Chains A and B, each alone.
Chain A
Amino acid sequence: EAQVTQNPRYLITVTGKKLTVTCSQNMNHEYMSWYRQDPGLGLRQIYYSMNVEVTDKGDVPEGYKVSRKEKRNFPLILESPSPNQTSLYFCASSLGRGLAKNIQYFGAGTRLSVL
């Protein structure tokens, strides 16, 4: 089954404790992206990757890091989480550029609480 898998689904942590949220897709997609969802703000892009070893900042990258060492994996790293990073996070992937190829498929989400 074609899917985007995120782990964990729920995470409670404390300020300053490094954490990683994993994302994996089995569709051989080139493009992967991380979003955060906050009430009234919709989905805002954190980082994206157009291929292996190619990553770039989205609209709200501060406090986050990513890496793309393999095509299927795109982990989101919070080196020193803060309470304002409490949010619902989504990973998404798509085939790549061009009409129709850029339809993004989403994971089920990771709800993060930073105390």
Chain B
Amino acid sequence: GQQLNQSPQSMFIQEGEDVSMNCTSSSIFNTWLWYKQDPGEGPVLLIALYKAGELTSNGRLTAQFGITRKDSFLNISASIPSDVGIYFCAGQLLFYNQGGKLIFGQGTELSVKP
């Protein structure tokens, strides 16, 4: 089936540093979503992207929908301890018979050292 390659798998950074992670695929997507999962909780939507080239911000987070529709990145500026968690990208394929299947990346586990 379709796959998303998310990198890096994990990051250990100092508080205040900027973070960048990305997802790539051989498939073309109509939507890119970025989720964050806090420890012991379910994923929560951070940013949704709907058009190729779109750049969207949510506070210190910025995400872009790649021009080729096959990739997306997420940047976090000036990281803080509460940014700790697992970040997932998800691409959405609009198949008629699947109503918009979400394909998830493997996740990027972020650790922030105060």
Contacts and interface: CB of A to CB of B under 8 A. Distances in A.
B106 A42 contact: yes
A107 interface: yes
Contacts of B6: 42
Interface in B63-100: 88, 90, 92, 94, 97-100
B79 to A, nearest CB: 22
B99 A104 contact: no
B100 A31 contact: yes
A97 B100 contact: yes
Contacts of B50: 99-100
Contacts of B33: 103
B50 to A, nearest CB: 5
Contacts, number: 68
Nearest to A58: B101
Query: Interface extent on A, as a size class?
Result: 20 to 34
Nearest to A50: B99
Interface residues of B, number: 30
Nearest to A35: B104
Interface string A13-37: 0000000000000000001010100
Contact of B30 (A96, A99, A106, A108): A99
B100 A102 contact: yes
A28 to B, nearest CB: 16
B42 A102 contact: no
A31 to B, nearest CB: 6
Interface of A: 4, 31, 33, 35, 40-45, 48, 50, 56, 59, 90, 92, 94, 96-109
